[in-house]
Structure 1
Amino acid sequence: MYHQINDKINSIYFYYIIVFKSTKNSENISPLQFKSQYDVIENNSMHMLDKDLINVIPAIKYALHLPRFCFDVIDCPEEIMLKWNGNSHNILLIPDSQIEKIEHYFCCVQSYPTLFIVADNCDSDAIKTCKKYKPTLETCKVSELTDSLLNTHWNILSQIVQQMGEVSSTLSIQHSFLSDNIFPALPLLFYANQVGGHDIIIKELMKPDCQIEKVCIEWTCKYSMMLDTWSYFISNNIDRSTITEKQYIEVSERNKKFSSSVIASFPGQSKVLKKNHISTNGYSSVDNQIISIMCVHKAIEKNGIYINLPIIQDDAFRLLNELESHCIDSRKYNNKYIWNTIMKIGMILSKNLNDYQIFALKYSKDITFFSDFPIGLAILPNDEVPLLCYKSITYRPLTPLTRQLEFELRPNRRIILKSKITIAFAQCINDNDEIYGHSEYVYNFLKSHSNCFTVNHAKITTIKEMIEFINQNKDADIMYISAHGWYQKEQNIAGIEIGKDFWMANDNLVFPPVVILSACNVSPRGRGAVCIADLLIQNGAVAVLGTFIPINVIRNNILMVRLFTYIIEILEKRRKTQNLSQLWNFIVFSNAIHEIMKQSKGLEKWMYEKIAPNKTRLHEFELERCVGKLRPNHIYSDTISIIKEMLDDNGLSGKYDSILNSKDFFPESFFYQWIGSPDSIIIDNGEQGIKL
């Protein structure tokens, strides 16, 4: 069977086009989404959804029930299933006035539309235009979508794949459209279809006392165990015909664990937006359905599970706003206050989560949060550090919801960075600024590693120069912007300074896939501000790094140099292939030692002292002392224990206890945030195959 899957069938992807009736005259939607209080009240959406899309919500859900690509309809061998990663549904939302623009899209992807679904309130001309493109499954209206049609569509696609790929066996399953209450379990079915578990899961989901998270976790564990077991046999070249039941059980037991990607929705907004009439007071069913659609789409892509968390309490936003304000207004941070506030945020959030939700977050492989709140800051029960210290986290802000839906449904854009990476370095700090020398430190580091990086550097003094620089560097891999941040609380906007001007990247520009904002508070979340980081995503960036608070330029340099150092190590094959989210998680996890050292000049000097040629105590800590001794969710206490052990061994017992025992250190790395899809940015060492 495996050898019968030829190159032709490997390239078969399905494309679903959903046409909605547009009431807008302009093709471009304002980044701020709503221009008046009337627009918001009429819309009745907490997270700002364009009401034109409401009529096609059933169509998007229907498309998610259909196969993504050829392998969803084939009885796949384990070798193929093990390579499923990053395969999402290709769903295009298009207004009825712009249907003909899809012709250019399909010329680019060298494919054809699979199905058109047209909103019932579109006129007959829209349907005629769709039919002109002769989609594989023809054209239908939203009102025509039924279980019967769903099965017909699956069967037609199965027959086409069977004929084109000379495949002897396709799946035979009775599909049904999941109701809203069990829709979050849809990602499970794509694996269940392959192993005969579809009907069993549906039956379990239909029970009156069904707990969705429990079902998802249990079945995901089973599938992960099965795939990990077959991965072991395949990677060790063990002939499956020789595998005994005892062998299979032994290997399965070793792989019996929950290690799945978790996609979590966490809706809610700051009270500031409600007071200023920028959002409605209520969380509508429309919000809930669109957020569920985005999360299910992402969970199917990542072979993960979706958990729907309760609405964020106002107290969490209030505490975050107070924390951000403290860091902005204080000349010296109160570290104890910062840690206590983070703990309070964790307690507020945790008390509203059930045991299955907490389990899923703590034991996941990685997490994608669809939320306006940085939940990674939360310290969960029995932990001493925030979730972001030990989990690879990707944030996807929810507001404005129309833009976020558009971003999520874009064809998956995986960026593989290897060999030599091109970086566009925009220096917006004036050369007479006291931090200019520090801000050039990262540039000089990159320039000194010309074997790994090509750096295009420019001093930017006006917005016009910035726009020209961006247009000249559209093909760069990374854009690094060094600037002063500018957070206007009264207007609730955050951007950067360029010369004497304030800039938010709200021009019609095309950015490189990765943008690093080396600037203060460009992504504050406590007040629900409109941020430059979010607008960069709307302008085509795939992943953006920003900060909640003012940052220390020297500490920032440490983090940035560490990031690029690990990228160098991957490119030079000294570190395994990783995505950007995984790499950043390791940086935050292992930054505890640097943050503790920074609180005492004496301790920092002692750690940097050489104890042998080309070896400092910091090297001893990183390469010898801490190996196998650092628990991810107890990283600070374990780091402190090792430092005390090193001090004891050098006859310095009790020294620096005033810092080490009081948690009097500032966790700066907690206040950086990747948004977008950093998990789609792969740093490749060229030695390991990238999964499909």
Structure 2
Amino acid sequence: MWERPAAAESTVPHGLAKTVAAALPGLWYCLHLPASLADLVDVDIWKLKAAQSLRLDHNILLVPIDCFDEDLGRHLQRHHPVVTVCPDELLDEARQRASALGFVLPTTPYSQLSDATLTAQWRAIHEHFSPELPALAGEVSLTRRLDLAPLTLPHRRLARQMGWPTAELAAQDMSVSKAFTQAFHGQTRLAALARLEREGASPSEAGRRFLQTAREEADRLRVPVALGLPGTAPAYARNAYDSEVRRRTGLQPAVNPDDTWSVALHERPDHMVERAAIEFAVTHEAVASSGLGLMLPTVPPDAFVILAELERHFLTPHSSAAVRRLLTRLNDAAQPLWSKELAAAIQRASHLTVFSNFPLGLLTMPGDSAPLCARVPVAYRPLEPLTRTVQHQVFAPPSISLNHTIKVLVAECIPLSDPVGRISREGWRIARENVAPEAATLTIIQAETLTLEALQQSVAEHRPDILVISAHGTMVGNMAALVIGETPHLDLGLDHLPSVVMLSACHVAPRGSGAVAITDLLLREGALAVLGTQIPVEVTRNATLMIRFMVYLAEEIAKPGQFATILDLWHHVQRSNAVNDILDGSPSLRAWATSTTINGHSVIREFCSRASGRLRLPHVYEDTERVLGEIADEQGQGKRVRNWFRRPGYVPESLFYVFAGRPDRIHLSSLGWRAERARRAVTAGPTSGPLLRRRKAFGL
């Protein structure tokens, strides 16, 4: 609970309302309570591993005291209201309202938030919901180091489920290296035990095989990773704050031993309050996915400045050499972000959730040759305003499954008289033809929507699963908007916004100048995931990407098994488009791509047959060049073609697309069905197997 103010007052630079900041002690406390019934009792190990794809979020309602009423009660009818936490001055009123709404436990004021209260509430929740089953043993205590909580809290919860010692995991003098090592080893042991359990190994057999199985699982381990990356663009700060305020907003390190939990943490200086809020969002995400989380240092201002220069460079005719130089400068400026823990986490990431205003995926990890978004799927959660970030994070929508016939609405917002509009319409005609063999699984509808009203009516009429808005992007002041017909718009006012919105438009998600982007605003309107571009993109290349995405999507729904989520599918399309980025680099390369190889195939077809298994994700452009070079050598054109790679060169345009929101929660086809089955198994609670005894038998 918190009290709604008469006038909003926010922290700087990320903009957290002071009234929402006052809820932080309670939010952090709730993160230590059970998230589901499965937290209360012994659960099969394979279910704990399966839960990483399910996002079992804590169900936390963040509401002002004057909204804690009967209207909220109607929403609570679909849930089990357990406990209310509030500042002491709101206790009497909150207690009365909570009692009227049927909360199970007494209202808890901040002054009573402690390890003893936490332990008592775990016990009371278990006795209320699962009295017939034995409770888990193990210590329950509050996290002290908030800077390490994204690592330590998910691991402590896992350790309690697995019957491992938990007391030392809350130590005040814990280092980030030790915390990461413990969390990584915990994930490895979980994967090994889950595999042995799925294989039906007896306790004695599992004991013999465990070390070898753990080594094998460590090599192939993939877990969700959440990252907190604070920082605001200097251009935004200059417009929003005066020089005195800007001087108070210095760079913050990744680790700060003074960053500890207390019931008064919201009374700290702005930068520490914002830090606690970002850490809460990252920890909430890491706990929900039973994965890893890391807090990173503030993005250096120079990195935003270079990023803005890079984005502006694409507004005029650009050269690949200049883009390469700017990307190199961007990597140099962002070098302080890298640590051995970050590199190790990314190497084991199934996907990244990045809470930031900075496109981390454009950076190249040390040792790689391609940007990070080619290596691993990346989903972004914007940090400004931070109030909205916290609100969105606690209001976590359930995962959805696109395991049915998918309806795609393409809203054509560019007049036919515009050459870009004509090319767009032709591209989507080709897309329809390419998905025609899979028409039973995916339908593409094109609609002429040259006014906002026409767009709204078309979306209301068709109610698509995926909305593609084909439009021009434009900057209005410091706002990245869509042009519908001839008019820029930031607020689309769509009553039936689908879960997935794809903006087939130029520079609608720029980050270098801190612009207010329509991609972020569509998340506020209710979209679960929004795809946008950081730069102006060439219309035919964009059409190629969109066609490939739709073809793969239709094939996945018809014959499931390759991609778990829509983020995974997009990542495949994005990084496998490297060959098109390269061959579209110049007229000479485009002409060569259609030439005939010694095997009688076109270059592009020959590439597709040879490239399988040879393209390393961290080096996808380098390896693509190598395969193309081999083909050129056989034609006697190797030197010429390799020279074209450098002069005039090419731009990795496909990597300048960003997926914001929760695309990792949109499951595809039967994989989504399996995830739902696993979710039901996990949240339904335990089986009767002697799992803790088995774990102890393994010597773990």
**Same fold by TM-score greater than 0.5:** yes
Distance change (3 Å), C-alpha of 1:72 and 1:333: same
With normalisation by structure 2, the TM-score equals: 0.87
1:254 alignment partner in structure 2:
216
- The equivalences for 1:25-44 within 5 A come to 42-44=9-11
- RMSD in angstroms over aligned alpha carbons? 2.3
Comparing 378-387 with 247-256, greater Cα deviation is found at 247-256
The answer to whether residue 95 in structure 2 is matched with residue 127 in structure 1 is yes
Distance change (3 Å), C-alpha of 1:370 and 1:687: closer
- The equivalences for 1:344-383 within 5 A come to 344-383=329-368
Distance change (3 Å), C-alpha of 1:532 and 1:614: farther
Residue by residue over 1:419-462, the C-alpha shift from the partner in whole angstroms, topping out at 9 and shown as x without a partner, is 21022221101111112222113432454433222344321122
Greater length-normalized contact order (CA 8 Å, ≥ 6 residues apart) = 2
Distance change (3 Å), C-alpha of 1:387 and 1:201: farther
How far apart are residue 512 of structure 1 and its match? 0.7
How far apart are residue 644 of structure 1 and its match? 1.2
Distance 1:685 1:340 in 2: 44
1:555 alignment partner in structure 2:
541
1:36 alignment partner in structure 2:
none
The answer to whether residue 583 in structure 2 is matched with residue 597 in structure 1 is yes
1:33 alignment partner in structure 2:
none
How far apart are residue 187 of structure 1 and its match? 1.5
Structure 1 contact 221–259 (Cα < 8 Å) conserved: no
Distance 1:655 1:451 in 2: 46
2:267 alignment partner in structure 1:
none
The answer to whether residue 33 in structure 2 is matched with residue 48 in structure 1 is no
2:468 alignment partner in structure 1:
480
Structure 2 contact 597–631 (Cα < 8 Å) conserved: no
Match of 2:123 among 140, 152, 155: 155
SS of structure 2 residue aligned to 1:545: strand
Distance 1:125 1:686 in 2: 46
Letter in 2 for 1:408: Q
Residue by residue over 1:353-374, the C-alpha shift from the partner in whole angstroms, topping out at 9 and shown as x without a partner, is 3322233234422211100010
Distance 2:60 2:544 in 1: 41
1:452 alignment partner in structure 2:
441
Q: Identify the structure with the greater helix proportion.
A: 2
- The equivalences for 1:277-292 within 5 A come to 277=240, 280-281=245-246, 282=249, 284-292=271-279
Distance 1:353 1:128 in 2: 50
Distance 1:687 1:302 in 2: 16
1:520 alignment partner in structure 2:
506
1:299 alignment partner in structure 2:
286
- The equivalences for 1:562-581 within 5 A come to 562-573=548-559, 575-581=561-567
SS of structure 1 residue aligned to 2:488: strand
Letter in 2 for 1:136: V
SS of structure 2 residue aligned to 1:682: strand
How far apart are residue 297 of structure 1 and its match? 0.4
1:146 alignment partner in structure 2:
114
SS of structure 2 residue aligned to 1:104: helix
Letter in 2 for 1:298: E
Structure 2 contact 586–648 (Cα < 8 Å) conserved: no
Structure 1 contact 416–681 (Cα < 8 Å) conserved: yes
Residue by residue over 1:459-482, the C-alpha shift from the partner in whole angstroms, topping out at 9 and shown as x without a partner, is 112222223333334x42111100
How far apart are residue 215 of structure 1 and its match? 3.0
The answer to whether residue 459 in structure 2 is matched with residue 470 in structure 1 is yes
2:51 alignment partner in structure 1:
84
SS of structure 2 residue aligned to 1:256: helix
SS of structure 2 residue aligned to 1:376: helix
Structure 1 contact 350–380 (Cα < 8 Å) conserved: no
How far apart are residue 295 of structure 1 and its match? 0.5
2:185 alignment partner in structure 1:
222
Structure 1 contact 118–127 (Cα < 8 Å) conserved: no
Structure 1 contact 376–393 (Cα < 8 Å) conserved: yes
Distance 1:614 1:294 in 2: 55
Distance change (3 Å), C-alpha of 1:511 and 1:667: same
Distance 1:230 1:187 in 2: 18
User: Any stretches of 5+ residues in structure 2 without a counterpart?
Assistant: 250-269, 680-700
2:379 alignment partner in structure 1:
394
- The equivalences for 1:173-184 within 5 A come to 173-179=138-144, 180-184=146-150
Distance 2:327 2:364 in 1: 7
Distance change (3 Å), C-alpha of 1:627 and 1:443: closer
Percent identity reads 26
Distance 1:289 1:431 in 2: 50
SS of structure 1 residue aligned to 2:50: coil
Distance 1:656 1:617 in 2: 12
Distance 2:541 2:494 in 1: 33
Distance change (3 Å), C-alpha of 1:577 and 1:591: closer
Structure 2 contact 563–569 (Cα < 8 Å) conserved: no
Distance change (3 Å), C-alpha of 1:358 and 1:121: same
How far apart are residue 320 of structure 1 and its match? 0.6
Distance change (3 Å), C-alpha of 1:504 and 1:402: same
Structure 2 contact 523–661 (Cα < 8 Å) conserved: yes
How far apart are residue 174 of structure 1 and its match? 2.3
Comparing 609-618 with 519-528, greater Cα deviation is found at 609-618
Letter in 1 for 2:217: N
1:211 alignment partner in structure 2:
175
Letter in 2 for 1:138: P
How far apart are residue 307 of structure 1 and its match? 0.9
Structure 1 contact 573–685 (Cα < 8 Å) conserved: no
Distance 2:390 2:159 in 1: 27
Distance change (3 Å), C-alpha of 1:639 and 1:456: closer
Residue by residue over 1:152-207, the C-alpha shift from the partner in whole angstroms, topping out at 9 and shown as x without a partner, is 000112223332xx42x32122211112344332121111111233425426x43x
Match of 1:541 among 518, 527, 534: 527
Distance change (3 Å), C-alpha of 1:293 and 1:211: same
2:258 alignment partner in structure 1:
none
Structure 2 contact 305–512 (Cα < 8 Å) conserved: yes
Residue by residue over 1:28-76, the C-alpha shift from the partner in whole angstroms, topping out at 9 and shown as x without a partner, is xxxxxxxxxxx6xx52331111111122111000000001011111122
Letter in 1 for 2:451: T
Distance 1:191 1:486 in 2: 47
1:314 alignment partner in structure 2:
301
Distance 2:634 2:194 in 1: 45
1:664 alignment partner in structure 2:
649
1:323 alignment partner in structure 2:
310
2:67 alignment partner in structure 1:
98
Distance 2:648 2:180 in 1: 36
SS of structure 2 residue aligned to 1:284: helix
How far apart are residue 247 of structure 1 and its match? 2.2
With normalisation by structure 1, the TM-score equals: 0.88
Structure 1 contact 572–685 (Cα < 8 Å) conserved: no
How far apart are residue 314 of structure 1 and its match? 0.9
How far apart are residue 350 of structure 1 and its match? 2.1
The answer to whether residue 229 in structure 2 is matched with residue 266 in structure 1 is yes
User: Any stretches of 5+ residues in structure 1 without a counterpart?
Assistant: 1-18, 26-38
The answer to whether residue 663 in structure 2 is matched with residue 678 in structure 1 is yes
Residue by residue over 1:485-514, the C-alpha shift from the partner in whole angstroms, topping out at 9 and shown as x without a partner, is 1113xx200111112211012647441110
Distance change (3 Å), C-alpha of 1:610 and 1:121: farther
Structure 1 contact 506–535 (Cα < 8 Å) conserved: no
How far apart are residue 386 of structure 1 and its match? 0.9
Letter in 1 for 2:640: K
How far apart are residue 627 of structure 1 and its match? 2.0
Structure 2 contact 196–206 (Cα < 8 Å) conserved: no
